[in-house]
Amino acid sequence: MQKHLVVGILNGDDIGHEIVPAAVEVTRAAAARTGLEIDWRPMPIGRKALDELGTTLPAGTLETLSTMDGFILGPIGHQAYPKQPGAINPHPIMRKHFNLFANVRPTRSFPGLGAVHEGIDLVIVRENNEGFQPDRNVVAGSGEFRPTEEVTISVRVITRTGSSRVARAAFEIAQQRRKRLTLVHKNTVFKLGCGMFVEECRKVAEEFPDVTVDEVIVDTMAMRLIRDPQSFDTVVTTNMFGDILTDEAAGLVGGLGMAPGLCIGDGALAMAQATHGSAPDIAGQGIANPFAMIESARMMIEWLGHNRGIAPAVEAARLMKGGIEKALADPATRTRDIRGTGGTNDMTRGIVAAIEAA
Ligand code: ATP
């Protein structure tokens, strides 16, 4: 019998082998409660795939993923890959291949975890496939090049289509939240690049008259995020600015372990991917904070539930939210980076127990 959802499990590298199974375990527990049927499909990726199959992105991976509703992608430690053919960074390829143009990265403070401020609840929607990132803003070659030993040129790509579609994704999210959207750019200096991004965002704003829009220059935004993060709800910005601001926002609420993310595009498929890297310094010790990965999976299930009209998925996401909040409230079921005394398994089991008891 066909299940509600088909979801890929791609562990990634280093702590990915700990936090991705945690995300699956929590999602399974919630799904069991609501009758959500998920066909889980583990797939090799990253260093393990390189060692076993000779490439970090095995042949057929993209084709198989394209038949699914979504997938969980663990962090990729591509910096440590040996310099050899087949050892490529797979995630920009996936973002591009599946046209996952919006990277949705929420930041929320929870009491007692060492957040700089209480009451933070914002989401940064970052353009995902163009901008300054040289490994993804061209289809061949690199967006960075060195014509002479003296000169390096880094190219930033901004398109009307790319700007417009990420703006629409952000407005749709803002509409579901507190109906406030902050547009972050630097068109005072990047008159053409940021100028085009702003123009397109303003056009899309006309379709959402119920959303209040304000505009903030990126350097001011970096400062205001520290001083009054509670004043922001939904934020939309270009790729690199979004990448930096989301790490800054994570720092406000307990660090990178608290930074989840969901990559979405035209609705065909969603990719749950935490903001943080593969943290090789703590891998294998059972101390990685699984929150970001679990919350990313939760966001995916919720998004798929709404997008595909699957009520048990929406309900499973709601149960996961409650379970996460409960576990985070107890130092024994949260990790040390967020003022806890537990490890990855304690937190995972704490969330599962809370879901089962709900
Ligand atoms: P990338 O460039 O791939 O995003 P990075 O250079 O930002 O990676 P990370 O791997 O994210 O580096 O690690 C940065 C720091 O944050 C490390 O000290 C790491 O241990 C810590 N860290 C990252 N993720 C977690 C987590 N889930 N739990 C606890 N600590 C984490």
How many A from CA of 285 to the centre of ligand 1? 14
CA distance 155 to 147: 13
Q: Is the CB of 65 under 6 A from ligand 1?
A: no
Mutate-to-test residue for ligand 1 from 78, 256, 336, highest number of ligand atoms within 8 A of CB: 256
How many A from CA of 172 to the centre of ligand 1? 30
Q: Is the CB of 292 under 6 A from ligand 1?
A: yes
- What pTM, to 2 d.p., does this model score? 0.95
- Strands 212-217 and 262-264, by their bridges, are unpaired
Per-residue pLDDT of 75-92, as tens digits, reads 999 999 999 989 999 998
CA-closest residue to ligand 1 atom 2: 277
How many A from CA of 275 to the centre of ligand 1? 9
How many A from CA of 103 to the centre of ligand 1? 18
Environment class of 123 (CB within 10 Å of its CB; exposed 0-12, middle 13-18, buried 19+): buried
pLDDT for position 54 = 95
- What is the spatial order of strands in the sheet that 70-73 belongs to? 38-42, 5-10, 70-73, 270-272, 262-264, 102-108, 121-127, 234-237, 180-185, 212-217
Contacts of 11 (CB under 8 A, 6+ apart): 17, 20, 21, 42, 45, 46, 48, 74
- Beta partners for residue 215, in sequence order: 183
Q: Counting atoms of ligand 1 from 1, which one is nearest the CA of 274?
A: 27
Q: Is the CB of 295 under 6 A from ligand 1?
A: no
Q: Is the CB of 344 under 6 A from ligand 1?
A: no
CA distance 16 to 274: 10
CA distance 207 to 196: 18
Structural domains in the chain, sorted by start? 1-100+258-358 (3.40.718.10), 116-252 (3.40.718.10)
How many A from CA of 77 to the centre of ligand 1? 10
Q: Is the CB of 279 under 6 A from ligand 1?
A: yes
pLDDT for position 138 = 85
Q: Is the CB of 9 under 6 A from ligand 1?
A: no
Cβ–Cβ < 8 Å for 254, 295: no
How many A from CA of 347 to the centre of ligand 1? 18
Per-residue pLDDT of 169-199, as tens digits, reads 999 999 999 999 999 999 999 999 999 999 9
How many A from CA of 179 to the centre of ligand 1? 32
- Beta partners for residue 72, in sequence order: 9, 272
How many A from CA of 16 to the centre of ligand 1? 11
Q: Is the CB of 257 under 6 A from ligand 1?
A: yes
pLDDT in tens, the chain (358 residues): 678 999 999 999 999 999 999 999 999 999 999 999 999 999 999 999 999 999 999 999 999 999 999 999 999 999 999 999 899 999 989 999 999 999 999 999 999 999 999 999 999 999 999 999 887 788 888 889 999 999 999 999 999 999 999 999 999 999 999 999 999 999 999 999 999 999 999 999 999 999 999 999 999 999 999 999 999 999 999 999 999 999 999 999 999 999 999 999 988 899 999 999 999 999 999 999 999 999 999 999 999 999 999 999 999 999 999 999 999 999 999 999 999 999 999 999 999 999 999 9
N-to-C CA span, the chain: 28
CA distance 89 to 241: 21
